[in-house]
C-alpha cells in the first residue's frame, strides 16, 4: 500500500526565508502526488499535483515541488515566505492499481515569524 | 468550498446519542468521501462512495455508517457517539478516484464534540 511521510509536525521560518517542507512517499508503482494547504478553521485546498508529466510542478501562491523518483521525494518549496503562508500543509499520494484513494501524511504546521 | 457544503458546522452531542452529518455537492461528481482529522494523525478516510447506493469502508470505519441515496448527498452517521469520535470531519468530492484531474475538493468541515 502507498503512504507518505512528513517528518516532524512543525516548522518555523522567518518572513522572506526559504520554505522547505519535506515529503517522502512509498509506492511500488508510479504515484500521483499532491500538496494541500489548510488555513485555520478551513477545509483543505489543493496547492499543486504531480501526475507523471513534468517533474517540477508549480502551484498556487508561489509554491512548487519537484518529483524525484531516485529519492522517493516530493518536497514543497517557496523561495520567500510570507506571513499569509502560515498554515498546515499536507502531502498525499495515490496510485493506480492499488486502493487508488488519496492517502494523506500527518501534516506539517508552518509558522512564519516577522 | 464552492460546490460542496457540510452541515452542521459545529455540533456538541452526548455520549450514546446518534449523530448524522450531511455533505451536499452541486458538482455532480461521482466520488464522495468522509475523512476525520485529528492532531498527529492527519486525515484518515472513514467511508467513501463511488455512486448512488455504492459505498465502501475506509481505514477507520468502525462506529460509522454512510448512505448515498442521491448523487448530491452523502450522509455520515455515528450510531452511538463516543468521546473517541470527537474530531473534525471533512467531506470531499472528486471526478475520479485518483483525483488526477483536479484533486479532491474539500468542504469546510464539521467540528463534532462528544461529551
- Residue A97 sits at φ, ψ, to 5 deg, of 95, -20
Q: Is A91 helix (H, G, I), strand (E, B) or coil?
A: strand
Residue B47 in contact with residue B106, Cβ under 8 Å?
no
A 45-74 → B contacts, CB under 8 A: 45-46, 49, 51
Does residue A58 carry a pLDDT above 90?
yes
Sequence-ordered list of residues with C-beta below 8 angstroms from that of A7, at least 6 positions apart, any chain:
A22, A24
pLDDT band at B47; cut points 50, 70, 90: very high
Please spell the DSSP secondary structure of A60-83, one letter per residue. Answer: GGG-EEEEETTTTEEEEEESS--G
Does residue B51 carry a pLDDT above 70?
yes
Measured distance CA(A28)–CA(A93) in Å, rounded: 12
Please spell the DSSP secondary structure of B28-84, one letter per residue. Answer: --SEEEEEEEETTTEEEEEEEEEETTEEEE-TT-TTEEEEEEETTEEEEEESS--GG
Q: Which pLDDT tens digit goes with each residue over A66-98?
A: 999 999 999 999 999 999 999 999 999 987 655
Say which of B43, B108, B109 has its CB closest to residue A104: B43
Give residue B54's pLDDT: 93
Mean pLDDT of chain A: 91
Q: Which pLDDT tens digit goes with each residue over B26-44?
A: 999 999 999 999 988 899 9
pLDDT band at A51; cut points 50, 70, 90: confident
Q: Is B13 helix (H, G, I), strand (E, B) or coil?
A: strand
Prior bond to B20 cis, omega within 30? no
Say which of A51, A101, A107 has its CB closest to residue B42: A107
Q: Identify the closest residue of chain B to A47 by CA–CA distance.
A: B103
Q: Which pLDDT tens digit goes with each residue over B71-112?
A: 999 999 999 999 999 999 999 998 877 666 678 899 999 999
Residue B4 in contact with residue B25, Cβ under 8 Å?
yes
How many beta carbons lie within 10 A of that of residue B36, not counting itself? 23
Characterize A38-57 residue by residue with b for buried, 16 or more Cβ atoms within 10 angstroms of its Cβ, and e for exposed: beeeebbbbbbbbbeeeeeb
pLDDT band at B2; cut points 50, 70, 90: low
Per the CB < 8 Å rule, is A101 touching B100?
no
Any idea what DSSP says for residue B71? T
Place of cell 472513514: B46
Amino acid at each position: 500500500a502507498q503512504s507518505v511521510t512528513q517528518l516532524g509536525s512543525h516548522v518555523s521560518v522567518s518572513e522572506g526565508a526559504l520554505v522547505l517542507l519535506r515529503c517522502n512517499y512509498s509506492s511500488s508503482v508510479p504515484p500521483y502526488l499532491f500538496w494541500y494547504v489548510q488555513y485555520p478553521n478551513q477545509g483543505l485546498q489543493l496547492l499543486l499535483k504531480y501526475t507523471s508529466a513534468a517533474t517540477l510542478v508549480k502551484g498556487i501562491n508561489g509554491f512548487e515541488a519537484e518529483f524525484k523518483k531516485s529519492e522517493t521525494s516530493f518536497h514543497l518549496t517557496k523561495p520567500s515566505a510570507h506571513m499569509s503562508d502560515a498554515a498546515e500543509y499536507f502531502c498525499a499520494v495515490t496510485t493506480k492499481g492499488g486502493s487508488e484513494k488519496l492517502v494523506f501524511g500527518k501534516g506539517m504546521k508552518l509558522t512564519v515569524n516577522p | 468550498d464552492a460546490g460542496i457544503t457540510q452541515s452542521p458546522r459545529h455540533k456538541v452531542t452526548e455520549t450514546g446519542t446518534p449523530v448524522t452529518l450531511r455533505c451536499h455537492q452541486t458538482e455532480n461528481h461521482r466520488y464522495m468521501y468522509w475523512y476525520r482529522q485529528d492532531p498527529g494523525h492527519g486525515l484518515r478516510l472513514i467511508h467513501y462512495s463511488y455512486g448512488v447506493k455504492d459505498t465502501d469502508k475506509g481505514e477507520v470505519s468502525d462506529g460509522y455508517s454512510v448512505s448515498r441515496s442521491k448523487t448530491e448527498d452523502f450522509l455520515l452517521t455515528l450510531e452511538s457517539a463516543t468521546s473517541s469520535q470527537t474530531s473534525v470531519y471533512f467531506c470531499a468530492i472528486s471526478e475520479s478516484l485518483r483525483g488526477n484531474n483536479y484533486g479532491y475538493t474539500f468542504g469546510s468541515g464539521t467540528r463534532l464534540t462528544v461529551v
